[in-house]
């Protein structure tokens, strides 16, 4: 993709908070991205009962092409999931989604962010390292589908200026 197309794509990207109506689209992304996909009920519970949960959708021309979620507890954010539709991978959209999630966490007063990632997922680890995450240990046998270990990663978030600034570019629509 050339720079003109890339710029146009970036301008057309929108981030907004996830609603219950987004779950069917999120399930498609979830099944494309993960060997252990969450259920519709899990997302419904996150959106309706978990007051620590914050989920966002990334749209391109009105179509959900990615989503991300986190739990915000005290001054720490824990990334629960982040995924991009298979057809849109390789365009740095996962990085844009992570940037938006990190900005939103900082805006909400979070100082640090953590996540678990499969030890075999070098592509994701590379992205997280690029964004300031560092390995802080392993969770042995974390993934129940194959018993794979998870690398625990942490990053410090830059403080967000809240005076007259919107929460990232996420909209409530």
C-alpha pair distances (Å), 138 with each of 43, 56, 148, 157: 26, 27, 10, 22
Secondary structure E strands in 9-128: 13-17, 53-60, 63-73, 76-84, 112-118
Say which of 76, 116, 148, 167 is annotated catalytic: 116
pLDDT band at 4 (very low <50, low <70, confident <90, very high): low
Residues 17/54, Cβ–Cβ less than 8 Å = yes
DSSP code at position 173: -
In the chain, the N- to C-terminal Cα span, in Å, equals: 30
Catalytic: 10? Answer: no
pLDDT tens digits, one per residue of 31-80: 999 988 999 999 999 999 999 999 999 999 999 999 999 999 999 999 99
Please say if 128 is a catalytic residue. Answer: yes
Q: Tokens representing 61?
A: 């021309």
Residue 162's pLDDT is: 54
Convert 38-50 to b/e letters by CB count within 10 Å (16 or more is b).
beeeebeebbeee
Cα 43 to the center of its chain, rounded Å:
14
Annotated catalytic residue, options 55, 67, 107, 128: 128
What's this model's pTM, rounded to 2 decimal places?
A: 0.85
Separation between Cα atoms, residue 101 and residue 68, nearest integer Å: 7
């Amino acid at each position: 993709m050339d720079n003109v197309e890339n710029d146009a794509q970036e301008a057309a990207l929108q981030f907004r908070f996830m609603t219950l109506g987004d779950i069917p689209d999120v399930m498609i992304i979830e099944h494309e991205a993960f060997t252990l996909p969450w259920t519709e009920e899990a997302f419904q519970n996150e959106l309706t009962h978990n007051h620590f949960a914050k989920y966002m959708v990334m749209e391109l021309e009105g179509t959900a092409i990615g989503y991300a979620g986190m739990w915000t507890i005290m001054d720490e954010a824990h990334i629960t999931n982040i995924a991009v539709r298979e057809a849109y991978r390789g365009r740095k959209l996962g990085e844009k989604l992570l940037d938006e999630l990190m900005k939103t966490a900082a805006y909400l007063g979070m100082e640090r962010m953590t996540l678990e990632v499969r030890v075999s997922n070098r592509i994701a680890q590379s992205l997280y390292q690029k964004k300031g995450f560092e390995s802080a240990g392993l969770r042995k046998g974390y993934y129940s589908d194959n018993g794979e270990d998870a690398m625990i990663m942490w990053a410090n978030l830059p403080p967000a200026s809240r005076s007259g600034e919107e929460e990232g570019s996420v909209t409530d629509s």
